[in-house]
Structure 1
Amino acid sequence: MEGFGVYAVFAVDEAPRLIWSCRDGWQNSVEIQPCVQQIVLFTRGDWGNRDSVSVEFTDEENIPINMSKLTPFSKCLSWETTEDGVWSKGATLTVKVNQGTSELLDQVLTFSQMECTPECNPTISALKECPGKRKRSQGEDVVDEGRGKENICPNGSEKATPHRRGKNNPRGGQTRLFSQEEEQTAAATSQSRKAKGKQSKTPSQTAPLAKPSSRWGQTLCPIDPQTAILIGGQGARMQFCKDPIWKLCTEDLSWVPAETLAEGPTPEARIGHTATYDPESKRIFVFGGSKHKKWFNDVHILDTKSWRWTLVEAQGKVPPLAYHSCSMFRGELFVFGGVFPCPHPEPDGCSDSIYIFNPEMAIWYQPIVNGEKPAPRSGHSACVMQGRIFVFGGWDTPVCFNDMFMLDLGLMEFSAVKTSGVAPSPRSWHGCAVVSDSSFLIHGGYNGNSALSDAFIFNTDTSCWSSLTLPPLSSIPRAGHSIITMPFTCEKESMDEEEEELSDPASQILLVFGGGDNEGSFFSDLITMPVNELRRE
């Protein structure tokens, strides 16, 4: 056990270099030279009671490039740079050794690195060490900044929304959404992060608690009263997140990297996808999305009981879609709208069709829908309430919507909803969450010029909009963020005594994660608010 060490090879003609041994304590960091094109890490010696080695690779701005783990069953990993040179200016490699009965690790740090089961019981670590799991290629998610024009984010300085042909919008034309000044703003933000990052790279410094990198276009999907799963997203410099899958334990608001937690083929990095949970089968269905000029119409299923990914070989036809909506009703997935490539891979418009996926038959089909259909759109929201799907907002260049449509799932009939009150302004990529049996929340979004921070409640019984004043949410505009509601199971340090009185199991808490502000910033913060506060407005 004394001979155990972590080694790295930085060049084909270079001997392995010892980067961690027992005398280094519980972690060690090394600087990576800009000339390094590939890194191979491996362990040698008896693992003893060590259960894993966490490896974090960050760029010169201290932004995560990749995070992986070595285990007794997976003792080697490799990273390789690609054409965009993500670490051409230098990077840092940090190795952290985790032990079952460690004499080296601080107990607080140990808890932050433990992987929790859906019941937040840290006993699943044995599962992630099983052999045969798919390891994501370490170079496949690097972004070519000259590609990916369809991945429209609130901070993109050179991107344009996918356009749809029409009388006044001939094919080949694009509407610019963002000014050239935004690129300069992003560069200034990058420089400020760089200064902070260099101050935090000393090996002796206490490691921060793990959390997802900043991103937009991700999904956050509750799977039980204590757990939600974060999937995908895109961050600064149009880079797809190298830490694409996380678990959120709401009992203490802790994050756990979860890409290697489940076995089977994990979904390829993407944005604009949907992740929908079926409480009956305890499975998450991930559908569609896009990555650069690659569009998806695949269905990945994460079984949260066995913690295994499965790629479905589905029958029937469904086009590749991104920024669509997906709703679960009676065990079937109802997909509406979204951007589609026509012809592939160039974006050429938005969809106004409904596609239904039946998991039992593993088949896609299109229903016969009557009534007044919504115009084609993407970036809209949809929620199922009382046997109806309510569709709000969205975008189809150059038009942004704030209309409301309802699909009666019994009659399969669309109808426009005549609303009263002050309705939200036109927007897309906003957050939406059901907050009661007859109301849902709309927050933020993008109106074609800027990100928004306002919030509204829609009452489905009265068809009335109500404007809300929510200081935690209205302080920073954001779009492409995630909003969910979950049971209020614990007291939070940030809450006052009045809010703590609301923390009974029957109450709900609103959680808001991530997004972008269209000013060069992406977020990784997690905002919490009792749903009771929304109902008081």
Structure 2
Amino acid sequence: MEGLPEFYVLCNTCEPPVRLHRLPSDSQESFQLSAPVLPSLSSQLLLFSVGDWSGLSHDSKYEVQLEATGGKKITLGTLSRESRCFIWDCDSCKDLTCMLKDSKVHVAILIQGQLHHKKNEPKQESRKRKRLKGEEENICPNKGLVKGDTAKSKNKNSKSAPLPKPVAVAKTTNGISGVPSGRWGHTLCPADSETVILIGGQGTRMQFCKDSMWKLKTEKNTWFPLETVADGSTPEARTGHTAVFDPESCRIYVFGGSKNKKWFNDVHILDTEAWRWRSVEAQGKVPPLSYHSCSLFQGELFVYGGVFPRPNPQPDGCSDSVYIFDPQHEIWYQPIVLGKKPSARSGHTASLLNRELYIFGGWDTPLCYNDLFLLDLGLMEFSPVEVNGISPSPRSWHSAASVSDISFLIYGGYDGNQALTDTHMFNTVTKTWTALVHKSLPRSPRAGYAMLTLPAVQEESKDCSPQELLIFGGGDNEGQFYSDTVRLQITDIVNL
């Protein structure tokens, strides 16, 4: 049928891919494809599509299943216009051995969406965007490090590093009471158009915050302890995790992080309508990660980088991989990523504008970075960005926020020597960095804080453009942890 892609599965690297043949369907709105019986399975399966997608609605997806005689099925993942290939790890499936016993196995694909019926409808091509030219894991950034410029060395005797100094007074600003204790390494996440959720963090004397979860009602500028119920366990106290809100499902996804020598690769889901937590027993493999980035795109979570534990005597290491979590089927998988990817790092930022993900900065001991990379989530291709103007100095543990459809802003962070106070904006059209100086911007050196734009979710208004920046917490790398809440009008700082 014209306007529909073809599908292939690669079961063995020593043999060519197997093309899936279309089968007749009882419904005009859906169809099924089936591959020949698979004689054997290797450790991984590669599923990919080739050809035209114009005969499908834009939001159509293909659900890929492994089927066996007797009606047994395992969901492998989804293919879409923006994500046309993925790798499935056979070893990650606990039920596969039982499924293969005395069974014939084949791959089936079922469309989720609608076919276009207009014969003369112009084809929608997937157009390539313009190519842009080009230890301990949860400690205060300077603990165990020797001061230097841009390249830093790790202190082998971490016990000699000074502990942070306690904070005597919690600060407040803009009329918002500083009820949550001072902390860094936490997350801020919207829950609706008037609610922001604070999760986790680490405070004075490197203690994990006992008041781990808070709710900020942005209309009244008031903090409340977050009261929820749980079907399973709630997220354990942690730092370096990520929290992402999906406005379509009204859910917050919390992934990863660390607590002392304990590392996490768990996924917890908060239903913001019922205020109920649920822990996920996901299929697939993803390592424990902390200080990674996580972005929501087309209903899936894209995780990049982060630091992960290695067995002694080796130190912790950083990741340069991309992992995708499919919430619908609760599985992890790794996409095929093309191009020149960034070096391994943690403590970086990832700013999503349309389908372009901009990775800036980060840290992999002893180096601190200030390079900028673009990951096209439609093509799954990395490319370095050749920027105009003066780039911000190398840093990690900063934060970033998109302030328009073509620009994002970064502030503060840690350069391996000290916490920073500067603010910079990047324009994705002109490829230009601009330093911002304004009296409304925070003046205190700040790293490990959390920042997002408001309104992050607009339910009634059609105008979803960001109006304000919200900043909470962080530390000055000299032992002080902030508990102030700062709200800034974006027009005050970007229209200089």
TM-score range, shorter chain: 0.5 to 0.7
Indicate the residue corresponding to 1:174 in structure 2: 154
Equivalent position to 1:252, from 213, 220, 227? 220
Indicate the residue corresponding to 1:530 in structure 2: 489
Once residues 416 and 177 of structure 1 are traced to their aligned partners in structure 2, the CA distance between those partners, rounded to angstroms, is 36
Indicate the residue corresponding to 1:277 in structure 2: 245
1:447-470: per-residue Cα shift (whole Å, max 9, x none)? Answer: 000000000000111111000013
Once residues 145 and 245 of structure 2 are traced to their aligned partners in structure 1, the CA distance between those partners, rounded to angstroms, is 32
Tell me whether 1:337 sits opposite 2:324 in the alignment.
Answer: no
Tell me whether 1:304 sits opposite 2:272 in the alignment.
Answer: yes
Once residues 296 and 281 of structure 1 are traced to their aligned partners in structure 2, the CA distance between those partners, rounded to angstroms, is 24
Indicate the residue corresponding to 1:479 in structure 2: 447
Equivalent position to 1:214, from 182, 203, 206? 182
Tell me the SS of whatever aligns to 1:523: coil
Tell me the SS of whatever aligns to 2:154: coil
1:268-304: per-residue Cα shift (whole Å, max 9, x none)? Answer: 0000000011111110000000001000000000011
User: Would the alpha carbon gap of residues 416 and 262 (structure 1) be closer, same or farther in structure 2, given more than 3 Å must change?
Assistant: same
Indicate the residue corresponding to 1:80 in structure 2: none
Once residues 339 and 160 of structure 1 are traced to their aligned partners in structure 2, the CA distance between those partners, rounded to angstroms, is 20
Tell me the SS of whatever aligns to 2:494: helix
Report percent identity of matched pairs.
Answer: 57
Indicate the residue corresponding to 1:261 in structure 2: 228
Tell me whether 1:508 sits opposite 2:467 in the alignment.
Answer: yes
- Unaligned runs of 5+ residues in structure 1 are 1-147, 162-167, 198-207, 490-503
Tell me the SS of whatever aligns to 1:534: helix
Tell me whether 1:235 sits opposite 2:203 in the alignment.
Answer: yes
Indicate the residue corresponding to 1:357 in structure 2: 325
1:225 deviation in Å? 1.5
Q: Is 2:136–2:316's contact at 8 Å kept on the other side of the alignment?
A: no
What is the letter of the counterpart of residue 334 of structure 1?
F
Once residues 512 and 308 of structure 1 are traced to their aligned partners in structure 2, the CA distance between those partners, rounded to angstroms, is 26
TM superposition score normalised by structure 2: 0.66
- Count of residues paired in the alignment: 348
Indicate the residue corresponding to 1:450 in structure 2: 418
Equivalent position to 1:375, from 334, 343, 346? 343
User: Would the alpha carbon gap of residues 373 and 475 (structure 1) be closer, same or farther in structure 2, given more than 3 Å must change?
Assistant: same
1:223 deviation in Å? 1.9
1:409-447: per-residue Cα shift (whole Å, max 9, x none)? Answer: 111110000101121100000011111111101000000
Once residues 335 and 277 of structure 1 are traced to their aligned partners in structure 2, the CA distance between those partners, rounded to angstroms, is 14
TM superposition score normalised by structure 1: 0.61
Runs (4 or more) in structure 1 with deviation over 2 Å come to 156-161, 173-183, 260-265, 343-348, 470-474, 504-507
User: Would the alpha carbon gap of residues 294 and 440 (structure 1) be closer, same or farther in structure 2, given more than 3 Å must change?
Assistant: same
Tell me the SS of whatever aligns to 2:453: strand
What is the letter of the counterpart of residue 472 of structure 2?
F
1:519 deviation in Å? 1.2
Indicate the residue corresponding to 1:152 in structure 2: 139
Indicate the residue corresponding to 1:408 in structure 2: 376
User: Would the alpha carbon gap of residues 424 and 364 (structure 1) be closer, same or farther in structure 2, given more than 3 Å must change?
Assistant: same
- Unaligned runs of 5+ residues in structure 2 are 1-134, 171-175, 458-462
Tell me the SS of whatever aligns to 1:449: coil
Once residues 507 and 436 of structure 1 are traced to their aligned partners in structure 2, the CA distance between those partners, rounded to angstroms, is 7
User: Would the alpha carbon gap of residues 313 and 483 (structure 1) be closer, same or farther in structure 2, given more than 3 Å must change?
Assistant: same
What is the letter of the counterpart of residue 258 of structure 2?
S
Q: Is 1:177–1:449's contact at 8 Å kept on the other side of the alignment?
A: no
Q: Specify which structure has the higher proportion of helix.
A: 1
What is the letter of the counterpart of residue 337 of structure 1?
G
Q: Is 2:202–2:208's contact at 8 Å kept on the other side of the alignment?
A: yes
Q: Is 1:433–1:442's contact at 8 Å kept on the other side of the alignment?
A: yes
